[in-house]
Amino acid sequence: MSSVTAPDRSPHATYQSPLADRYASKAMLTLWGGQTRYGLWRRLWLALAESQQALGIDIPDAAIAEMRDHLDDIDFTAVAAYEKSFRHDVMAHVHAFGDVAPAARKFIHLGATSCYVTDNTELVLMRRGLSLLREKLLDVLEALGGFAREWKDVPALGYTHLQPAQLTTVGKRATLWMQDILLDLEDLEYRIASLPFRGVKGTTGTQASFLTLFDGDHAKVRELDRMVCERMGFKTSIPVSGQTYSRKVDAQVLGVVAGIASTASKFSGDIRMLQAFGELEEPFEKNQIGSSAMAYKRNPMRSERIAALARFVLSLEPNANQTHAVQYFERTLDDSANRRLAIPESFLATDAILVLMQNVTRGLEVHPARIRRRVDDELPFMATEELIVRFVRAGGDRQEAHEIIRGHSIAAARAVKDGAPHNDMLERLAADPSFGVSLEDLKSAAEPSRFVGRAPQQVVEFLDEHVAPWLARERTAVELEEVRV
């Protein structure tokens, strides 16, 4: 007789989403958890019953009171049993709610379809999720602002086509990351402010059941929709719908969320390359291990994780438009299982990205000596026009100067590629009697700060005129999450 091993009930026995156990914040995980979601369902049923009562439907005060008293004490074991029997999650919760609010049992969900609770709840969750992302984005913006101001004057190599270009400054480069964040914040603000509620629309969006409930009184049906929206904290509902609100709304929201992921990915890519150059590094903890084999390694793992999670979020954005495109007529159900995954995970992964960005932007390490060395290797080539001017001022011919500089710059570049310790183009020119400009004068012409343009001033103007107003707005304090792995 064989023995049966009891199933392992530990969290390690079955698959757990890494977004839950490794990456996302407690606040975002709580938002998308069952307690919040199904608590909102009960609040929606309460808002519907209260509004119906106010408009003349005979719903006893005791029923309203019982519903209000049991908004959050959800018996999930009872719900699971009901759903196993009914194969319908909304009806399972209707019955479980009725068990604890018996006076309200026959009024819960009166005139409504499942999408009354599912769709309206999704809109509440998305709006709250956008607000959570907004607060983290502002926190990252503030950290980068301090970094940009501190390093606004330090010249650094700029790059176009991933090749050395004119100089910028360390702080000015940070403002490029911040500019993207401001664009994301503008999109966030607009979407939060304009996101509509589904409201009270009925099974195919015609409000027929509510028109029957109110004996054909169109004004009361319209007022019911307005009152429920107001009770749930929305200014407007979507004007017309099928059974669901248009899934284009999901696409618009995930477009904003994916935009944040794109911004983060660009930021992380820059950090990873700068760390490879040795100019800048993300935080690295005392006992952190960079490689199991190469003990000396200090890998940019946080920035790499940002890139990985961002790629995941960007892959989900097209999903929403694809879902909208196949919602035939008043609705099809092939959106349901998909949206249970795509929408929460877009928010959770983007939240995880911002947790990482908060950590990285607060602990960036700059290496000025390495930055200067890289500038010195390239700057003599970039100072060509200034060097020509010096030659002409000394009485020389512009075309002759160009030819002399061209010859020495090619020779110096070859020497660097062949292992010379530094770019000695200035020394070569100073030693050339046909050029006739002293080494001191040439070095003065090639001083890095002469080649950063208005970068330091741009940093100050950008921070004072564009960033400061955002940071001065009303904000909710953000609890910094520990990077768990």
Q: How does DSSP assign 168-180, residue by residue?
A: EEHHHHHHHHHHH
Sign of CA dihedral 23, 26, 32, 35: positive
Q: pLDDT at position 285, please?
A: 63
Q: What is the dihedral of CA 377, 173, 168, 163, to 10 degrees?
A: 50
Tokens 């490794």 belong to residue: 22
Long-range CB contacts (< 8 A, 24+ apart) of 457-466?
458/172, 458/175, 459/148, 459/149, 459/152, 459/169, 459/171, 459/172, 459/175, 460/149, 460/152, 462/148, 462/175, 462/178, 462/179, 463/145, 463/148, 463/149, 463/175, 466/182
Q: pLDDT at position 212, please?
A: 97
Q: Would residue 408 show up in a list of annotated catalytic residues for this protein?
A: no
Q: pLDDT at position 295, please?
A: 44
Catalytic hit among 3, 10, 12, 161: 161
Mean pLDDT by 10 residues, the chain (485 residues): 59 87 94 98 98 98 98 97 96 98 97 97 98 97 98 96 93 98 98 97 96 97 98 96 96 98 98 96 67 59 97 97 95 93 97 97 96 89 79 84 87 85 86 84 85 96 98 81 72
Nearest CA among 388, 371, 366, 370 for reference residue 442: 388
Catalytic hit among 85, 291, 434, 449: 291
| Domains delineated in the chain | 33-104 (1.10.275.10), 127-149+169-288+295-363 (1.20.200.10), 384-445 (1.10.40.30)
Q: Would residue 161 show up in a list of annotated catalytic residues for this protein?
A: yes
Q: N- to C-terminal Cα distance for the chain?
A: 45
Q: pLDDT at position 410, please?
A: 87
Q: What is the dihedral of CA 272, 278, 282, 284, to 10 degrees?
A: 120
**Which DSSP symbol is given to 467?**
I
